[in-house]
Copies of this chain bind each other. A is one copy, B any other.
Amino acid sequence: MKMTGVLTPVVTPFDDALKPDADRLVNQCRWMLSQDVGLAMFGTNSEANSLSTGERRMLLDAVVDAGLPAERMMPGTGLCNLPESIELTRHAVERGVGGVLMLPPFYYKGVSGDGLFDHFARVIEGVGDDRLRIYLYHIPPVAQVGLSLELIERLLDAYPGIIAGIKDSSGDWNNTQAMIERFGDRGFAVFAGSEDFLLQTMRAGGAGCISATANINPAAIARLARDWQAEGADHAQAKLSETRAIVQGFPMIPALKATVARHSGDEGWARVRPPLVALTAGQREQLGAKLDAVGFTMPGLKEAATA
């Protein structure tokens, strides 16, 4: 079963010792699902690369053990090194996830397509489980190591069924479109990396989007992914982009967490791990005022956060 629609890299809550807080995360994930948004936990905007491998395992276990549907989960399991990428991916598959979102190894720069192919191939063969569904994660602005169309084709040829799709966070619509055109008819699910491209993606035959701002604006984004053929879709797209542009005026992860803190009434949500830095009080006030001005709300969050 393909994953489609909207997913979000769920922001990761920390306690006052900066340890990840599984209870807060479970409540947040439950709320995301209630808004029809799937769980791409341990993405870039989840501060996943600020978590240890053990912490990722513990948090995934907590969310699955809480009874949330694993088939709606697409945890990030791609690290720079093979053994831990295999370990995390196998663990996720064993917990029944719908798929995993996999970064390429991102420390060495200028690496070859052959080397990247070999890395993914060894992860797949190391996991050795037919239930594995890999969504590749193309995010050159951050990882600085991208995934070419040639590499994707080679992986699809070698591992059809297992290579299930991609999140394209290049910010380059031409690239997203090329992926849909070239691989869409092979069942390859292309997710835009931002809801700014959601309507274009749906119209071109893509699968949906996996977006950071779906952490705070989930219902409206999920609605457009469902109703993209209805009248008013262009207007709905413009509204989504308006909200996103406000958040993008601030450092993204601290801004998302500050917004969750504000609307849940739980100040602890504002914490980030270094090297990130929380918004200042002034930034938080500005962000809140700008979102208020466009009528932004997070209905049901407060109740979910204190469930």
Contact = CB atoms under 8 A, between A and B. Distances in A.
A262 interface: no
A124 to B, nearest CB: 12
Given A50-B80, A82-B50, A144-B144, A104 B275 contact: yes
Give how many copies assemble into the complex. 2
Interface string A135-166: 00000011111000000000000000000000
A112 B144 CA distance: 18
A104 B107 CA distance: 12
A274 B50 contact: no
Contacts of A104: 275
Contacts of A145: 275
Q: Which bracket fits the contact residues of A?
A: 35 or more
B105 A275 contact: yes
A145 B119 CA distance: 24
Nearest to A54: B83
A115 B112 CA distance: 32
A193 to B, nearest CB: 16
A106 B145 CA distance: 13
A238 interface: no
Given A115-B277, A275-B115, A105 B144 contact: no
A142 B108 contact: yes
A142 B107 contact: yes
Contacts of A243: none
Contacts of A49: 80-81, 105, 107-108
Given A53-B84, A109-B144, 6 more contacts: A18-B82, A50-B80, A52-B84, A55-B83, A81-B273, A111-B275
4 closest residue pairs by CB, A with B: A115-B275, A49-B107, A118-B274, A119-B274
